[in-house]
Amino acid sequence: MSARDEILDSLQAASSTRAEHGHAHTHAHTSQALKAIAGANLSGFSRAISTDYNVALVERFCERLRSVKGEAFNATDAAAAAACVKDLIARWNIRGVAYSADPMVASAGIPALLAELKLPVQRLDGGPGEAPWREELAAAAREKRAPTVPWDLAIIGCDGAMAETGTVVHRAGKGHGRGGWLLCQAQLVLVDVSQLVPDLEGLFVSGGALDKDDLPRAITAITGPSRTADIEQTLTVGVHGPGRFCAIVVG
Amino acid sequence: MHVTSDKFSKNAADALHDPFLQGALQRATGKFVNERLRAVAEYPGFEALRDQGRAIKQEALDRLPELLEQFEEKVIERGGFVHWARDAHDANQIAINLARSEGVKVIVKSKSMTTEETNLNHALTEAGFEAVETDLGEYILQLDDDYPSHILAPAIHKTKEQVADIFDRRLHEKNPPDAGIPGLNTIARRALRTKFLSAQMGITGANFAVAETGTIVIVENEGNAALSTTLPKIHVAFVGIEKIVPRFNDLAVMLKLLPRSATGQRMSSYTNFLTGAARAGEEGPQKLHIILLDNGRTKIYADEKLQGSLRCIRCGACLNVCPVYQKVGGHAYGWVYPGPIGAVISPQYLGLERGHQLPFASSLCGACYEVCPVKIEIPHMLLELRNRVVEENTKATGRPAKRTFFEALSFQLFAVAARRPWLWGLGSAIGRRLLRSKASGGTVGKVELPVLRKWTSERDLAAPAEQSFLEQWKQRSGSKGGRA
Ligand code: SF4
């Protein structure tokens, strides 16, 4: 008998004995509970049309992201966002930028800004366009030197964000992978205010960033910088992923 | 790894005499407990959430055969492969065969208790592969040939000086003076970067496996699991068959429970939702292999009294609150799963002969149950296992557990006194005086009397009250007696 059949058979045997003994559970309880929470949060979700509510959401998002060592800003429009990015590039001493093909990145005028700052750039498309870049990163790491151009900031958009925890969600897809931003020292995410939901359930709705009927190979919910406390329980950032993290909520 | 669960008492005694370990345990468990409390207090309805978490995982168990088949079907639909492994050896062998047939040399691994359970690193190294742990704590342990002592913070038993020394010896990298822990971090980041960028295979575990969609979820803070499942062209996931949840939306509950219970974080830095292999134009591994592991789980599944232990989501909360774990640490338990949940499941994986001491490594205070996000009745299960250990002994020796002469005598004296109130009163009055005369600071030290000697050499006996309960009762109720 194959391992598969053996495992399934023994599970089946055990559950049918249990059912005979009247231990079978009904799951109405479970699904009811789930519906109840989903319902509660959906009503919260639709309230997002009111302006006050939006302000509260943005505030909550920023506060929560800061509490996990991320930076968070609210920019009223694309121009303000670009100014914020410019400021960050100076403050973090960024020498090269990789950016994704996200519409938010384009609408905030990031490519123009980088040209103005005369910074070396790399398009993050998760495809062949990234290959030479990755090879250079690998060679540099192997030879224990800095890469020829230190692309140390990744600028990306996102597919959803959650106020309760200060989280942004990235759905990897054609033309925007995640390997690129994972390899950078710092990460900047542009969030449109309409993408913000109060809590986790809001992301699971149809058409949301975590829609069960539309799942790409990789979805990443990102909450602040890469962190570890593995040595003496001391929190340090940037162990494998970006050590600096900033989100700008636009609108 | 070398199993030492049968030597729990000795391991524990050693741990108690290790001052660094004591400090580290106090710091780590204290921090985890406090952070969890803060996160739980801030979230209204956390109790209801625990009930839902329990219901979801219990439903998954009740429907396990059907859900596993559904999971398999969905993974295949999305271009992945599913392998079934009866035991640790089979699972490791599947991974080795895959690596061989794909011409893999370097493998990056992200932290997984399941691969600790199968001792995968050892098997891969034996087979000639370079398998690198990429979680910082695990990496340190791998370089030092050591193994985890906590399921979340595997290297809590190491000092930063020890880590610096390990990096110096094994990587020939000296941490610059004053660079401290961030400096050690940088050394590891650089060393592991080359591995991520050159590995052909990434091996991970999974926190959840969703039957409805074939998705696996990996929750992490460092980004090493994300890198391991993005850069190499092959992804292999070791998944225990109990990791199943029925629906994708169940994750909305489980992902609130797990990080809050584990580290007190609202969300971990990276939550990876991975569905199938990369499709045309998508970045990531073109090949996905999921190894579904039994390794004793079907046996636990068939055990009505202990099946609930398969709901465990490995959050580690029960370890941190356990007064025994807090003092003896993870290594004392002698196998990969320590703490209260380890004391329940290790004897089942290892067999009662080797795990017989573990169910007794508990004060039965119930703190583990209070924090468990999926409400596993750990204290009941420990009692059940204690019963079984005693039964096994009885069977093996052909007679009930042996009583010493003094033990038997004490029980006889007890029987005589308990039937004669006047004798009981007299005896307990004398006993109370005697013990009180020996007491200091509220406890009685070691009592040099048969039977009591053994008990009091390992436990503090609280000093008896000045008056007995009955005396107090009479005084307070004006000697009316106990009738209402
Ligand atoms: S038994 Fe409960 S508290 Fe302990 S690790 Fe498992 S899920 Fe967490």
Cα angle vertex B329, ends B173, B14, to 5°? 90
Q: Where are the beta strands (DSSP E) in chain A?
A: 71-75, 97-100, 121-124, 153-156, 160-162, 167-171, 186-192, 196-197, 218-222, 227-228, 236-237, 244-250
Does the structural domain B43-297 have CATH classification 3.40.50.10420? yes
CB B29 within 8 A of CB B339: no
Tokens 């692309």, located at residue: A151
Identify which of B451, B433, B207, B417 has the alpha carbon closest to the alpha carbon of residue B312: B207
Task: Give the dihedral sign, CA B182/B184/B187/B190.
Answer: negative
Give Cα separations from B468 to B313, B427, B442, B465 (angstroms): 46, 12, 16, 7
Q: pLDDT tens across B362-379, in order?
A: 999 999 999 999 999 999
Among B313, B320, B321, name the best residue to mutate to test ligand 1's pocket (greatest count of ligand atoms within 8 A of Cβ).
Answer: B313
Distances (CA, A) of B215 to A11, A104, B76, B78, B207: 22, 28, 11, 10, 11
Q: Which ipTM did the prediction report? A: 0.90
Q: Tokens standing for B152? A: 């979340």
Residues facing A247 on adjacent strands = A72, A189
**Is-contact B385 B347, C-beta < 8 A?**
yes
B302 chain-A contacts, CB cut-off 8 A: 10, 13-14, 17
When mean pLDDT is compared across A61-65, B389-393, B444-448, the lowest value belongs to: B444-448
Tell the residue nearest (CA) to atom 4 of ligand 1. B318
What radius of gyration do chain B's Cα atoms show? Answer: 26
Q: Which residue, by CA, sits nearest to atom 6 of ligand 1? A: B312
pLDDT band at A221 (very low <50, low <70, confident <90, very high): very high
Q: Per-residue pLDDT averaged across B456-468, rounded? A: 80
> And the tokens for B158?
């190491």
Output the pLDDT for position B76: 98
Domain ranges of chain A: 3-41, 58-250
Average pLDDT, chain B: 91
First to last CA, chain A: 61
Q: Tell me, what amino acid is at B61?
A: L
Distances (CA, A) of A178 to A155, A169, A182, B135, B276: 11, 11, 6, 19, 16
Atom of ligand 1 minimally distant from the CA of B339: 4
Give the least confident one: A34-48, B138-152, B216-230: A34-48
Q: How far is the CA of B326 from the centre of ligand 1 (A)?
A: 15
pLDDT exceeds cutoff 70 at A21: no
**Per-residue model confidence as pLDDT tens digits over A159-195:** 999 999 999 999 998 777 898 899 899 999 999 999 9
Neighbours of B157 (CB within 10 A): 22
Ligand 1 lined by B95 (C-beta under 6 Å): no
CATH architecture of B1-24+310-402: Orthogonal Bundle (1.10)
Which among A139, A40, A151 is positioned nearest to A99, based on CA atoms? Answer: A151
Position A49 pLDDT exceeds 60: no
Whether residue B197 and residue A241 make contact (CB cut-off 8 A), yes or no, is no
First and final CA of chain B: distance in angstroms? 63
Strands A186-192 and A244-250 come out as: parallel
User: CA B3, CA B354: separation in Å to the nearest integer?
Assistant: 9
Q: How far is the CA of B321 from the centre of ligand 1 (A)?
A: 11
Answer whether B316 contacts ligand 1 (Cβ < 6 A). Answer: yes
A58-250 CATH pick, 3.40.50.720, 3.40.640.10, 2.60.40.10, 3.40.50.10420: 3.40.50.10420
| Mean pLDDT across B83-103 | 97
- What integer is the mean pLDDT of A87-113? 92
Unique residue bearing structure tokens 């539309």: A214
The DSSP code sequence of A60-71 is: HHHHHHHTTT-E
CB B192 within 8 A of CB B132: yes
List of chain B residues whose C-beta atoms are within 8 Å of the C-beta of residue A8:
65, 68-69
A238: which chain B residues are within 8 Å (Cβ-Cβ)? 185, 189
Distance A60 CA to ligand 1 centre (A): 30
Token pair listed for A176 = 């925007």
Interatomic CA distance for residues B411 and B408, integer angstroms: 5
Q: Which of B220, B168, B266 is nearest to A229 (CA)?
A: B220
Atom of ligand 1 nearest to the CA of B317: 3
User: Is the distance from CB of A177 to CB of A156 less than 8 angstroms?
Assistant: no
**pLDDT at residue A39, as a whole number:** 44
User: CA angle B313-B317-B323, nearest 5°?
Assistant: 135
B417 C-alpha to center of ligand 1: Å?
44
A209 contact residues in B (CB cutoff 8 A): none
Would you call B451 exposed, middle or buried from its count of C-beta atoms within 10 A (0-12, 13-18, 19+)? middle
Reported confidence tier of residue A40, pLDDT bands at 50, 70, 90? very low
